[in-house]
Amino acid sequence: MTVLVGIIAGVSVCFILVITAYKVKRKTSESYDLPLHGQDSWSCCSSCCCCQENTEPEEKQANILVAQNSQDFFIPREKVKVQPPTRNHSIPTSPPSPSVSHAGSDSSERGSLSSESSGVFESEIGAVKPDLYAKSNDMVVMQTDKQGKAKKLGKLNFKLRYDFDKSDLIVTVMTAENLPKMDFGGSSDPYVKVFLLPDEDRKLRQTHVQRRTLNPTFNETFKFPTTFDELQEKTLVFTVYDFDKFSRHDLIGEVKVVLRDIDVSREVDVSSDLQPCTVRQAELGDLLFSLSYLPTAERLTVVIMKARNLKAMDINGSSDPYVKVSLLQDGKRLKKKKTAVRKNNRNPVWNEALVFNVPTESLKHTSLEVTVVDYDLLGHSELIGRCGVGSGFDGTGHEHWHDMLHAQRKPTAMWHTLHE
């Protein structure tokens, strides 16, 4: 009897379990086959893709990403049309709509085209303005409005190039055109001086004189040692003169080139109108000499050391200079002495000592007149320039004499600029 009751109980439990499992399975299948409506049904299947696809608005469906195949990437259904700007039409400056995104290549292309249309090309190192840089085959023409109103002074043609291997600025003076008539015969004897500003080292170069011509051809090349970085702060100056054997050389005109405005990394041809000179008159050169006074021997010693950039006095563009020193007391010339002649040299070196006997009590009334003269074998010797030292002079002349008196027995050297 007990065994029969246990069998019946076990069969009942198994029947109940089978019925329950069947009901659960039927409910699950109905939830996937039938769409649910109402607030409760939406909350229960909000994560289902099929419910979202049937309930989302149509405008939102456009931005849904759909996978075509398992090997394809997800791409947006809506394709953005990008129309590149042309050079003939203005590019709108208003920023694009936030809802429209451009690919990286498209945006960079638009930026480069936009900057190109404005004449400025953008690069990784900044903005580059091609108008300031000359190409190898271009001719840079420098003109000013003043030339039309003022007297025509002609043109100067030259070439510029920087040698990076030797750190030199290469300047080639080519030709000049339509120079004014400076001589009585209706012609000129032109030559060109070239130097850099700021002119700390007096790096002056000069061409040969071209006789009786208003359209001279020089074709002379000069080198200026300087670094490329220093070159950006310098100005190149050309001064054109008319040579005159018996008087001061006449200044025709000048050209100034701000080197940071021209790309000299490649050879560039420049043609410029000559302008009236505003820097200085004709340069005569500089003279270096030392002074010393020995009180015990009452001896004044003048050592003529060297000169630089003397004015060209001969037709070949050179000079034959020597130095003459005159001893003055109360304005009266008492003695004079001179150095040897240095042939064909505009930067001569003498290192010659000229000695004068001067009593100590006469020093305060004493001065020296120093003149540089160009020697001429057939005619009269010509004065190149002069300077003076003593208590009666101003500027460098007074300063040099004062230093000598306060440093007796020791030679004191100083450069003096020559004047007429």
> Which CATH superfamily, name and number, covers 139-273?
C2 domain (2.60.40.150)
Which sequence spans correspond to the domains of the chain?
Answer: 139-273, 286-417
Side chain identity, residue 161: R
Cβ neighbours of residue 379 closer than 8 Å, sequence gap 6 or more? none
Tell the residue number behind the tokens 């420049």, with chain if given.
Answer: 270
- pLDDT band for 243, please (50, 70, 90 cuts): confident
The predicted-structure confidence for 321-351, as pLDDT tens digits, reads as follows 999 999 998 888 899 999 999 999 999 999 9
pLDDT over 50 (residue 381): yes
Which of 23-32, 292-301, 315-324, 370-379 reaches the highest mean pLDDT? 292-301
Mean pLDDT over residues 355-371, rounded?
92
- pLDDT band for 178, please (50, 70, 90 cuts): very high
Mean pLDDT over residues 202-227, rounded?
88
Assigned token pair, 55? 């309930």
Say if residues 196 and 249 touch (Cβ distance below 8 Å).
no
φ/ψ of 127, rounded to 5, equals -80, 135
Which of 100-104, 122-126, 247-251, 416-420 reaches the highest mean pLDDT? 416-420
Cβ neighbours of residue 283 closer than 8 Å, sequence gap 6 or more? 193, 204, 309, 311
- Give the Cα separation of 310 and 313 in Å (integer): 9
Identify the pLDDT of residue 374: 93
Tell the residue number behind the tokens 């037709």, with chain if given.
Answer: 315
Question: Rounded to two decimals, what is the model's pTM?
Answer: 0.44
Pick the CATH number of 286-417 from 2.60.40.150, 3.40.50.150, 3.40.640.10, 3.10.150.10: 2.60.40.150
Identify the pLDDT of residue 370: 96
Identify the pLDDT of residue 58: 47
